[in-house]
Amino acid sequence: MTQQIFRDSDADRAFRPSWFLGRAAIYAVLLVWAFICLFPIYWTLTTSFKAAPDVMQGNLVPWVDFEPKMLGLRSLGLSPETIFAESTVRAEFLKRFWNSVIVALCSSALALVLGSMAAYGLSRFNYRFSFMKNADISFFFLSQLILPPVVLALPFLVLYKELALLDTRIGLILLYTLTVMPIVIWIMRDQFSSIPTELEEAALVDGLSIWGAFVTIILPIALPGMVAAFILSLVLTWNEYFFAALLTSTNANTLPVMVASQTGSQGISWWSMAALSSAAILPLILVAILLEKYIIKGMAAGAVK
């Protein structure tokens, strides 16, 4: 009994050109698109090390086409020679960067806290605020997504002026919280409704209050979803330009506003623009590489039911 009983048929074992062709096509598509995605980032990062002639000649590869110079970093006062010296440019840049960090982190955190609470409540209890039931309340929150920022922009300009919140970080934080909260609620409601209610029932029987059960039992389970919601909020708030351009002028400017304000001038110094843009995109690139799993999870939350 040496003969194999189960084996691939000859047709399966034969060389199949169409199969290899399909593979090759898939990889070709993927590689082309990866190139399209990555090249602008590569271009920005390298341009910050190019001198004017290198930019003009369109040199691409460092050390081969051109000798990298610390021009971009020097223009921000961050190159090795200038890092210990006093620098007004650096102070300016760090102030904007710090504004962006604070505004993005605070508004995402605030949206996460308010949004998770609301999402939990909506996924667990039966509410009735006059005519509004759960579905209506959910719709009320989610419908904020449709609201275009431009509708709120001018009224807020006037209101903030009256409230002395114009050009403050708190004003921006409040507005950004509002814009990302529907997304947080959407992701978190999904997350909470996938957690069985028996968990809370057990916790309540053991003597925890409902808030105790929420904080000590449910939140740790929903942590991946919270991370996803937080990162998505972070991406949106870090990149926000429209409100920041309208509502801030000197104190609370964020990084995108600083980048945009440099583009208009006639003699653009390419390396410093590139360095600024790199600073604006690098933090999120790092986040994307390290936490890619959560971002994808967050965005997929609404898609699959």
Partner 1 sequence: MASTEADYLHIVTADNISAARIRFGKTIIWASAALLCVVGLVQYLDTQGVVSLGFETWRPTLYAFLIWASCLCWGQVLLYGERGKRSLFVLPAALFVVAMVVFPLIFALGIAFSNWNLSSPTGRQFNGLDNVRQMWADPFYWNALKNMVWYTLAIVVEYAIAFGLALALNAQIRARKFFRVAFLLPLMLSPVAVSWMIGKSMLEIRFGPVAHLVRELGFDQISFFGSPEMARFMIMAMDAWTFIPFMMIMILAGLQAIPKELHEAAEVDGASGWRRFWEITFPLMLPVSITAILIRIIFKLKLADIIINITAGGPGGATDSVTSFIFREYRDRSNVGYGTLLAIVYLVLIVIAMTILMKLADRWMRPRY
204, 215, 216, 249: residue in contact with partner 1 (rule CB under 8 A): 204
> DSSP labels for the chain?
--S-SS---HHHHS--HHHHHHHHHHHHHHHHHHHHHHHHHHHHHHHTT--HHHHHHT--SBTTTB---SHHHHHTT-STTTTTS--HHHHHHHHHHHHHHHHHHHHHHHHHHHHHHHHHHHHH----BTTB-HHHHHHHHHGGGTS-HHHHHHHHHHHHHHHT-TT-HHHHHHHHHHHHHHHHHHHHHHHHHTS-THHHHHHHHTT--HHHHIIIIIHHHTHHHHHHHHHHHHHHHHH--HHHHHH-SSSS--HHHHHHHHHTSSS--HHHHHHHHHHHHHHHHHHHHHHHHHHHHHHHTTT--
Residue 16 neighbours by CB under 8 Å, 6+ apart: none
17, 58, 220, 267: residue in contact with partner 1 (rule CB under 8 A): 58
- Residues 262 to 281: which contact partner 1 by CB under 8 A? 263, 268, 270, 273-274, 277, 280-281
82, 87, 239, 269: residue in contact with partner 1 (rule CB under 8 A): 239
Closer to partner 1 by Cβ: residue 77 or 123: 123
- Residues 71 to 100: which contact partner 1 by CB under 8 A? none
Closer to partner 1 by Cβ: residue 11 or 164: 164
Under rule CB under 8 A, residue 27 binds partner 1: yes
21, 24, 57, 136: residue in contact with partner 1 (rule CB under 8 A): 57
Stretch that binds partner 1, among 5-13, 65-73, 82-90, 259-267 (CB under 8 A): 259-267
Under rule CB under 8 A, residue 38 binds partner 1: yes
173, 256, 272, 275: residue in contact with partner 1 (rule CB under 8 A): 256
11, 14, 37, 61: residue in contact with partner 1 (rule CB under 8 A): 37
88, 131, 211, 220: residue in contact with partner 1 (rule CB under 8 A): 211
- Residues 108 to 147: which contact partner 1 by CB under 8 A? 114-115, 117-118, 120-127, 129, 134, 137, 140-141, 144-147
Under rule CB under 8 A, residue 152 binds partner 1: yes
Under rule CB under 8 A, residue 217 binds partner 1: no
